[in-house]
């Protein structure tokens, strides 16, 4: 049986009287892509924030790579193996692609702010950055300024920066947002290649991409899971048809 990398059980997040995430359980296996879909306001971003530690849950628990990480802060959760891409906000536009990825790799080292660093650390950081750039398909853009590359390449850069932290789980929030057809096809191919070494939890509105990529889907509406299963099971689910998917 495949290894479970991430397992969230009965997660609830309340904002005052609103249960933005209501008793949600999801799990993620290595070498799988698990997509979380649902209409606007379903609670997908809130769920993502609970998994990354950006928000504490009101109740429920999260296991990551064999460790209960419930209530841990984002940095500690990152060190335990979860890489979250933050849409563009982490990219330094006046820096090169390489510098951005190297900084992300460096942020993962213990004592990142220390002025004194051993030579071995530098080698390890550079190796991780080089590998992340290779994996994300940005080798030929590594000396370009981040502000001068295309929108699609910037989204690849976000993924490279996430990979540079050495995650086992990738938590990706709308990696295809704002992309044209060719860029989206490239990103779909990239995500499929990354599944070889990672588990990927994907929040995405592009249903064609989701149904191409996902091994498993969880459908949320109004904070609750209304269905979970394979793409074929989700397509055939009457509740999902009625609530969300329509013609898909
Ligand atoms: N910090 C907050 N305080 C109060 N309410 C919030 C907060 N964050 C989210 N909500 C509410 O929780 C519900 C779920 O929002 P969330 O952003 O998680 O949905 P979503 O599925 O990610 O939507 P979208 O697809 O539009 O990004 C919404 O009703 C939203 O208004």
Closest CA to 98 of 135, 145, 163: 145
10 & 52 share domain: yes
129 & 190 share domain: no
Q: Which residues of the chain have pLDDT under 50?
A: 112-113, 247-248
- First and final CA of the chain: distance in angstroms? 31
What CATH number should be reported for the domain holding residue 181?
3.40.50.300
Give the domain-ending residue among 166, 188, 222. Answer: 166
221 & 117 share domain: no
pLDDT in tens, 81-102: 999 987 656 799 999 999 999 9
Q: pLDDT value at position 72?
A: 96
Q: Is the C-beta atom of 154 inside 6 A of ligand 1?
A: no
Q: Is the C-beta atom of 24 inside 6 A of ligand 1?
A: no
**Which H helix or E strand runs over 240?**
helix 238-240
158 & 174 share domain: no
Residue of the nearest CA to atom 8 in ligand 1?
46
Helices (H) and strands (E) in the chain, counts: 9, 10
154 & 31 share domain: no
Q: Is the C-beta atom of 15 inside 6 A of ligand 1?
A: yes
191 & 205 share domain: yes
Closest CA to 215 of 8, 26, 31, 7: 31
Q: pLDDT value at position 90?
A: 79
Q: pLDDT value at position 248?
A: 47
Q: Is the C-beta atom of 20 inside 6 A of ligand 1?
A: yes
Total domains, the chain: 2
209 & 245 share domain: yes
Best residue among 12, 19, 20 to mutate for probing ligand 1, ranked by most atoms within 8 Å of CB: 20
Closest CA to 217 of 33, 17, 19: 33
66 & 176 share domain: yes
Residue 215 DSSP one-character state: S
Closest CA to 26 of 240, 198, 213, 171: 171
Q: Is the C-beta atom of 11 inside 6 A of ligand 1?
A: no
Give the domain-ending residue among 140, 166, 192. Answer: 166
Q: pLDDT value at position 59?
A: 98
Query: What residue numbers bound the domain in which 10 lies?
Result: 1-81+169-248
159 & 196 share domain: no
CB 21 within 8 A of CB 43: yes
Residue of the nearest CA to atom 10 in ligand 1?
20
């Amino acid at each position: 049986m495949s290894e479970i990398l991430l397992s969230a059980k009965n997660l609830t997040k309340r904002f005052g009287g609103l249960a933005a995430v209501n008793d949600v359980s999801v799990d993620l296996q290595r070498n799988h892509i698990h997509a979380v879909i649902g209409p606007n306001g379903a609670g997908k971003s809130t769920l993502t924030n609970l998994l990354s530690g950006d928000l504490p849950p009101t109740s429920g628990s999260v296991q990551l790579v064999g460790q209960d990480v419930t209530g841990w802060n984002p940095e500690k959760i990152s060190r335990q193996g979860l890489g979250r891409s933050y849409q563009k906000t982490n990219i330094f536009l006046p820096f090169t692609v390489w510098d951005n990825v190297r900084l992300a790799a460096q942020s993962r080292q213990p004592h990142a702010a220390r002025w004194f660093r051993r030579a071995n650390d530098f080698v390890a950081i550079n190796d991780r950055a080089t590998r992340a750039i290779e994996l994300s398909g940005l080798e030929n853009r590594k000396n370009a300024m981040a502000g001068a590359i295309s929108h699609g390449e910037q989204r690849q850069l976000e993924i490279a920066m996430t990979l540079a932290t050495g995650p086992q789980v990738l938590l990706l929030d709308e990696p295809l947002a704002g992309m044209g057809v060719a860029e989206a096809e490239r990103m779909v191919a990239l995500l499929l290649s990354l599944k070889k070494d990672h588990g990927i939890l994907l929040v995405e509105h592009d249903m064609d991409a989701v149904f191409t990529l996902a091994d498993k889907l969880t459908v949320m509406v109004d904070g609750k899971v209304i269905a979970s299963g394979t793409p074929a099971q989700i397509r055939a689910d009457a509740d999902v048809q009625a609530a969300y998917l329509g013609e898909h």
